[in-house]
Every structure is written in structure tokens, then in C-alpha cells.
């Protein structure tokens, strides 16, 4: 069984040697970026180099973030990489409507088979407002996430806590649409590992699962923050054991009340713990 991704590492598409290092970094998913990480005069090279790399399956899942959907480059990006054996997902930036998801899904669906998995990045106020319609737009859409740098600029927000409403909005939309919990957006200061750990703890409390990264040194901090603690695992095992003996809602010896939802959460905790 493929483990639930907790770490998603972005890497510039115009630097093949960095892509090679990313694939050996231990990240659960490597995201080759054709958008923000690539200078305008390097876009064509990045696309060509990425297509060459992904002609064959890769040792870890690889997603490709294409250029802005309303710009002139996205169609060429999708044409070059969507059907390649090494592509396990397409990340769509600055999504603002469900219609965009439907259009892309139809455009990349082969004559025989299904569209590759799509992931929508919500990076504007309009995207956040349409979070649920986007999340429920098409079966090919497997996840949504915030792009917080662009969203922060769009909203004119300076304090990090000012994004919490948008974060919760996207987490609820993903759940309502039956998608996996979103990963957190990147922590831009790659040297601030204490700040990254604190931010991950806050994100986990909000309901995120895992986080995008821009440097391999961030990966173990993210994974550690999102894996269950020994105490959380022990509590989950207690709940699962109790539920296996009696059916329906019940109280544990310490007085805690458990029902089907609590049991399901305990199984998720156990599943995450097995990544260790």
C-alpha cells in the first residue's frame, strides 16, 4: 500500500540535476515546477527537460506544476507532460472556478482510460470563495491546497494568523468533497527550522495533513510534526481495541466517549504511524 503523503518537495523544472537530487531526498512526492520557480526565458527548456525526464516511470511519485491556466504556456505544458509514464499528478496553479478543472480534465483525458490525477492550487480570494465547487468539480481532481504567498498578496495580509480563515475554508471544502486533507503551503525560510516546526504544529491543529517544502532539510521536520506521537498511537490502539469488543457508541474506562467517527480517526492515526 502506498503511504499517505506527508512531504511534497518542489523543485525547478529547468534544473535537471536538482530534480535528480529531489528524487533521492526521501520526499513522498516530488513536484517539478514549470511555473514560479522558472524564469520566463527558461520556460521552454524546463518543459523539454521535464518531458525528457518523465518519459519513464520514476522511483517516487512525481507531479508537475504547469504554468498559469489563463496564460499562453499552460496548454503547451499539459500537451508535453500529461500522458507521460513518469507523471503521477498535474498541479494546476491559481484555480478560480470549477469550470477550469472540468476543462483541463477533458483536455487531458486520453481516448482510452482516465485523466491523470489533478490537484488544484487556490491562490486568490476568488479561488478560496469557490473552494467547494472546485473540490467537487470532477472525479479526476484528487486534492486541493492553498498557495499562501500569492493569497497573502491578494488579500494584503501580513500577519500569518490572518490566513487561518482561508485555511479552514479549504480544509472543510476538501472534506466535504471527499478529498484527502490538504497539505500546508510552503514555509519560505528554509533556515528557520524551529519556525517551520511551530507552523506545522499549528497547521496540524487546523486539519492539514503534511506540507509542501522547498528544501530537503525541511522534510524531516514536516514528517515528524505530522506523524502521530507515541501517546496518540497508544490512545488510538485503545479505541480500536475497545471498538472490536463492543459495537456502537460507548465510554472508555477513563470516561472518554467513543463512537464510529472516533474509531475511524483512530484507524487513520494507526495508518499514519505505520509509515515509521
Which residues contribute to the annotated binding site for Mg(2+)?
123, 150
Taking the CA atoms of residue 263, residue 264, residue 266 and residue 268 in that order, the dihedral angle to the nearest 10 degrees is 170
- Measured at the CA of 180, the angle between CA 178 and CA 182, to 5 degrees, comes to 120
- Measured at the CA of 99, the angle between CA 75 and CA 152, to 5 degrees, comes to 85
Kind of pairing between the strands at 211-213 and 141-146: unpaired
Helical H segments across the chain, by residue range: 16-23, 43-53, 74-81, 98-108, 125-129, 131-135, 148-155, 164-176, 193-206, 219-226, 230-245, 260-273
Q: For the residues of 172-239, what is the DSSP string, one character each?
A: HHHHHTTPPPPPBPP-S-TT-HHHHHHHHHHHHHHT--SEEESSGGGHHHHHHHHSPPHHHHHHHHHH
C-alpha cell at 51: 518531458
* DSSP letter, residue 250: E
Annotated binding site for substrate: 65, 123
* DSSP letter, residue 73: S
Annotated binding site: 65, 123, 150
Amino acid at each position: 500500500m502506498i503511504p499517505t503523503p506527508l512531504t511534497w518537495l518542489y523543485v525547478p523544472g529547468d534544473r535537471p540535476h536538482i530534480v535528480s537530487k529531489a528524487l533521492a531526498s526521501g520526499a513522498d512526492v516530488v513536484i517539478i515546477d514549470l511555473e514560479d520557480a522558472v524564469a520566463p526565458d527558461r520556460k521552454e527548456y524546463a518543459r523539454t527537460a521535464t518531458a525528457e525526464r518523465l518519459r519513464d516511470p520514476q522511483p517516487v511519485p512525481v507531479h508537475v506544476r504547469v504554468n498559469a491556466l489563463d496564460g499562453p504556456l499552460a496548454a503547451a505544458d499539459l500537451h508535453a507532460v500529461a500522458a507521460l509514464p513518469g507523471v503521477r499528478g498535474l498541479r494546476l496553479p491559481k484555480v478560480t472556478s470549477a469550470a477550469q478543472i472540468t476543462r483541463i480534465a477533458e483536455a487531458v483525458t486520453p481516448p482510452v482510460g482516465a485523466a491523470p490525477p489533478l490537484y488544484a492550487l487556490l491562490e486568490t480570494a476568488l479561488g478560496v470563495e469557490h473552494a467547494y465547487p472546485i473540490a467537487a468539480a470532477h472525479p479526476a481532481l484528487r486534492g486541493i491546497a492553498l498557495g499562501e504567498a500569492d493569497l497573502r498578496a491578494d488579500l494584503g495580509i501580513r500577519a500569518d494568523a490572518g490566513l487561518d480563515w482561508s485555511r479552514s475554508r479549504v480544509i472543510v471544502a476538501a472534506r466535504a468533497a471527499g478529498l484527502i486533507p490538504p497539505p500546508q503551503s510552503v514555509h519560505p525560510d528554509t533556515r528557520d527550522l524551529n519556525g517551520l516546526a511551530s507552523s506545522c504544529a499549528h497547521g496540524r491543529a487546523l486539519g492539514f495533513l503534511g506540507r509542501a517544502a522547498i528544501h530537503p532539510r525541511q522534510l524531516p521536520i514536516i514528517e515528524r510534526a505530522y506523524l502521530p506521537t507515541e501517546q496518540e498511537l497508544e490512545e488510538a490502539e485503545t479505541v480500536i481495541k475497545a471498538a472490536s469488543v463492543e459495537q456502537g457508541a460507548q465510554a472508555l474506562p477513563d470516561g472518554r466517549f467513543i463512537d464510529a467517527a472516533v474509531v475511524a480517526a483512530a484507524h487513520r492515526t494507526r495508518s499514519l504511524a505505520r509509515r515509521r
